[in-house]
Structure 1
Amino acid sequence: MSQARPHVLVVDAEQRIRDRLADELREGGFDVTCADTGLAAIELVKARRFDLAVADVRAPGMGGPETVAALKALSPDLEILVGATRSSAQAAVECMKSGAYDILEKPYDIEDMKRRLGAAMLRTHLDAIAAVHQASTALVASLARDDFPERAVDLAAKVVYTSAAALSLALDQGAALYQAASGVAVSPALVARLAAQAEGAPAPVRLSADEAPELLCTAEGDRFGAAIAAPLRLGERAFGGLVVLRDERLPAFTSQEEQAIGIFAIELALALHGHAAPRARGPRAA
């Protein structure tokens, strides 16, 4: 079980610069993956999701503006900071037009870079809050519906990437389980086991197949690569959990997704307060 660290993609042709940024940013609380060309960065973003990127405007193999545009097309939520010398200022401006978040002057000031990365993460966090707010408004409007818990799961799916393998809500009223699945169906036993991991936790709990393989494997042999279990609680009382599972072939959860899930779980707990859940029934595939 682990807490999310923002994952940064560093793109630079110089090994020395990549190594320095990787070391400094890891010490600053970031996970770091490096690429030496724009094309290599694109392949990495195709394989997994990143929270942030720092890309040299003159990385070989692809122009800076083209690299930024390609990365944003693959991952619209990715915030990209472009590194540029004064002599490449015009190219940096073109990168901004292509969707870059900010420009960093080279040679890099590491402390300034960390502050800028923090500001970029704050913006993505605020974007996540906006998405959750929209879903929460719909939650309140759905309180009178008999299928409210199922509706809540459907709304939760809107605040995380749709590549989530399964998204389930476990409530303790009559052992009810409500499930919205994309891909495989998940057994109630597995969801209940994962929801139990969030009991007593003040925030969502992240689980990975590397750290807890026994928790992410079903009796039928289905395996998942990662899960986030968010507690549903009012004060000290926990009454369920929101579980998001991701297929082992899909990218890991980003910190933005974990934040969004945690915020939505709080809103969901508040919405469920005083709402009588319908009689328990079996899981429902979306």
Structure 2
Amino acid sequence: MEMSPMVHSPEASAEEPARPWETSAGGLPASRGSSSLPRRSVQELTPGGGISVLVIDDEPDMREMLAFSLPSNEFEVVTADGGRAAVEVLGTRRFDVAITDLKMPGMNGVETVAALRELDPDMEVIVATGYASLETALACMKHGAYDYIRKPYDIAELRHLILRAVEKRRLRSLVPLYEVSCALLSLRTRSEVLAHLGELALDLVPHQAFRLLLPEPGTDELSIVASTDGLEVPAGALRELARRSIQGQEPVCGVNSSRDWPFSPVDRVGSALAYSLQVGDAPAGSLILLRGVGQPVFSVSELQRGSLFAAQLALALETARLNGELEARVKDLEATREELVKAEKLATVGRLAAGVTHELSNPLAFTKASLQALTSYSQDVKSLWTTAREVAEALSGREEPGLAELAKKLLTAAGQETEYSIRDAEEAAGDAMEGMRRVEALLTELRALSGGGPIAPTERMDLVPLLTAWMREDLLTRPLQVEATAPVFAKVGRNDLESSLARILAFLCEATPSKSGVRPGPLIIRAGYENGRPVVQIEDPLLGLSEARRAEIFDPHIQVDSRSGQTMRLNFGLALAWRLLRRMGADLKVSPGASGGSAFRLVLPAAE
């Protein structure tokens, strides 16, 4: 059995093909390859190398003649002395075209065609015959042969027939390539590309395993994307193959027997094919396909299909990266829009608050002064009433008629009805002063909301003691759970920060009231750093907020007064907390919690 490639004579070339041998008397019509010859050159069909041809014939002279006659600069010829030998050769490598004799001992041409097509459905098979009938040749084609040719060979006709077969194979491979390209480019995210990469590559280039190496952000190092095939392959060998393909900007094919095989002493990998992933002039990683020992090495046509797939993969990864950046920018724009809408809402409320504050300040001052005077008067009247009662009681014991009469009048004037009136006036004055204090508090909030309130001076402070103080004092209707492993320093206005945190905690306590006397679970407060800035996150596992509710949560709103359960009151709590935090350079957002519920996230200015 002969399987080694033949060395061709330099005299035989594409420009001067060998003359045809004697004409056969087999009586077969001319093959279809003799008409409408292809116009593509070998370089156009196989830009990555020559066409590989497996010649199968039991006659040594015929094998040597074909190996000598087919131009060596266009064709790589390997010979086999029969069908069984061809099957053995095909178990170690792949070919673009096979030329098999029809009448051979052991395994005839029909059986050989069927066996070769079963081993490699992509390989085209040309049947050569000088003795069999048309029916026998057509039977070979029925089993998958591309065409037949008469013996002795017309080398020019054979050459064009091989080119036609390769052209057909190339065109046939464009269909799955197109389908794979469409599938790749339809994937929008990197995770989707990585999830479907193996099956898409397998559709074009059969392989046992693959590895994808992508550059680490900001470095020249290549990281190996995790694989689920369970095949342990040395990372150093993968990076070496990737380096060769990237530096040469062309595919690198290695086999276990080569001197520069990087996978030694690993004996389970038989061949590897590495592609450079290019985006413009910049390398974007490497794709490596692997086959095990005993499997055929990668053929030239597989190398070419893989090159096209690698180009599509690089484009898909770049598209996914751009999609990711675009989605991130869209999210940033949406967040910015929400912030602007929120700021505009609060600015409108602030302008209204400034106007209301201005209009109410002077009348409130006069009313407060009058109420203070009324309170003082009621106290004076009460003192006068008490004195009159005491004088009347003292005069009623005298014997003089005039004094007794005077005592009687005093007792009448300072009687029980007068006492009730004085008490009612005193309570009314107290209620009025309490209402006045509530109005003053409301005006203070309006003034702060409008930006007209005083700005608290900033200081460097540790946030952890402030948070744990609330936990220890147990001032809220819900317990607190503070998680902080070290001090967290921020530069903030203490009063504004305390007021903002108190408003957030009060909102969370009111939003999830206790049921049937059972105290709800704790609010979880986590303090730490993120990107160099102090962060406080208050998470409520019980509070679920819809997206629409989260969007309007910082708007001022009217709610039922929880203390009375009947009256309505204006709630500036979270709106004012947002305003106070923003003016000290902090940010406040609400988002779904990591374990369910909702989380309020405060990003504070860093301490110097």
User: Do they superpose with TM above 0.5?
Assistant: yes
Equivalent AA in structure 2 for residue 37 of structure 1: G
The match for 1:177 is 224
Distance of aligned partners of 1:154 and 1:91 in 2 relative to their CA distance in 1, 3 Å threshold: closer
Distance of aligned partners of 1:193 and 1:76 in 2 relative to their CA distance in 1, 3 Å threshold: same
Task: Return 260-269 or 247-256, whichever deviates more.
Answer: 247-256
List aligned pairs for 1:103-182, cutoff 5 A.
103-144=148-189, 146-161=191-206, 164-174=207-217, 175-178=222-225, 180=227
Per-residue deviation, residues 20-75 of structure 1 (Å, max 9, x unmatched): 11223361433322222223323333444332110111122233222212221222
Distance of aligned partners of 1:109 and 1:245 in 2 relative to their CA distance in 1, 3 Å threshold: same
The match for 1:227 is 272
Distance of aligned partners of 1:262 and 1:32 in 2 relative to their CA distance in 1, 3 Å threshold: same
Distance of aligned partners of 1:18 and 1:198 in 2 relative to their CA distance in 1, 3 Å threshold: same
- Residue 155 of structure 1: how far off its partner (Å): 1.9
- Residue 137 of structure 1: how far off its partner (Å): 1.6
List aligned pairs for 1:5-44, cutoff 5 A.
5-25=50-70, 27-44=72-89
Task: Return 45-54 or 132-141, whichever deviates more.
Answer: 45-54
Distance of aligned partners of 1:17 and 1:179 in 2 relative to their CA distance in 1, 3 Å threshold: farther
Give the alignment's TM-score, normalised by structure 2. 0.42
The match for 1:217 is 264
Distance of aligned partners of 1:28 and 1:115 in 2 relative to their CA distance in 1, 3 Å threshold: farther
The match for 1:239 is 284
- Name the SS of the counterpart of 2:233 in structure 1: coil
Which among 250, 253, 259 is matched to residue 304 of structure 2?
259
Which among 308, 321, 339 is matched to residue 276 of structure 1?
321
User: Is the contact made by 2:102 and 2:109 (CA closer than 8 Å) also made in structure 1?
Assistant: yes
Equivalent AA in structure 2 for residue 206 of structure 1: C
Q: Aligned equivalents of 1:4 and 1:17: distance in 2?
A: 25
Q: Aligned equivalents of 1:4 and 1:224: distance in 2?
A: 24
Equivalent AA in structure 1 for residue 83 of structure 2: G
Q: Aligned equivalents of 1:102 and 1:177: distance in 2?
A: 45
Equivalent AA in structure 2 for residue 143 of structure 1: R
User: Is the contact made by 1:84 and 1:103 (CA closer than 8 Å) also made in structure 2?
Assistant: yes
- Name the SS of the counterpart of 1:261 in structure 2: helix
| Structure 2 gap segments, 5+ residues each | 1-47, 325-608
Equivalent AA in structure 2 for residue 169 of structure 1: L
Q: Aligned equivalents of 2:293 and 2:259: distance in 1?
A: 13
- Residue 108 of structure 1: how far off its partner (Å): 0.6
User: Is the contact made by 1:225 and 1:249 (CA closer than 8 Å) also made in structure 2?
Assistant: yes
Hey, which of these two has a bigger chunk of helix by percent? 2
Equivalent AA in structure 1 for residue 256 of structure 2: A
Distance of aligned partners of 1:212 and 1:182 in 2 relative to their CA distance in 1, 3 Å threshold: farther
Equivalent pairs counted in the alignment come to 272
The match for 1:192 is 239
Which among 209, 230, 248 is matched to residue 201 of structure 1?
248
Question: Among the aligned pairs, what percent are the same residue?
Answer: 34
Q: Aligned equivalents of 1:255 and 1:181: distance in 2?
A: 28
Per-residue deviation, residues 238-265 of structure 1 (Å, max 9, x unmatched): 1111111222332111122111110001
User: Is the contact made by 1:6 and 1:254 (CA closer than 8 Å) also made in structure 2?
Assistant: no
Q: Aligned equivalents of 2:184 and 2:105: distance in 1?
A: 48
Q: Aligned equivalents of 1:25 and 1:209: distance in 2?
A: 29
- Name the SS of the counterpart of 1:168 in structure 2: strand
Q: Aligned equivalents of 2:165 and 2:191: distance in 1?
A: 40
Task: Return 173-182 or 14-23, whichever deviates more.
Answer: 173-182
Q: Aligned equivalents of 2:74 and 2:120: distance in 1?
A: 22
| Structure 1 gap segments, 5+ residues each | 279-286
- Residue 183 of structure 1: how far off its partner (Å): 6.5
Distance of aligned partners of 1:100 and 1:274 in 2 relative to their CA distance in 1, 3 Å threshold: closer
Q: Aligned equivalents of 1:263 and 1:243: distance in 2?
A: 14
User: Is the contact made by 1:170 and 1:242 (CA closer than 8 Å) also made in structure 2?
Assistant: yes
Aligned-pair Cα RMSD in Å:
2.6
- Residue 181 of structure 1: how far off its partner (Å): 6.4
- Residue 179 of structure 1: how far off its partner (Å): 5.1
Equivalent AA in structure 1 for residue 88 of structure 2: E
- Name the SS of the counterpart of 1:256 in structure 2: helix
Equivalent AA in structure 2 for residue 265 of structure 1: A
User: Is the contact made by 1:165 and 1:184 (CA closer than 8 Å) also made in structure 2?
Assistant: no
Distance of aligned partners of 1:39 and 1:212 in 2 relative to their CA distance in 1, 3 Å threshold: closer
- Residue 17 of structure 1: how far off its partner (Å): 0.5
Equivalent AA in structure 2 for residue 209 of structure 1: N
Q: Which has the higher contact order (CA 8 A, sep 6+)?
A: 1
- Name the SS of the counterpart of 1:169 in structure 2: strand
User: Is the contact made by 1:79 and 1:100 (CA closer than 8 Å) also made in structure 2?
Assistant: yes
- Residue 145 of structure 1: how far off its partner (Å): 5.8
Tell me which structure has the larger Cα radius of gyration.
2
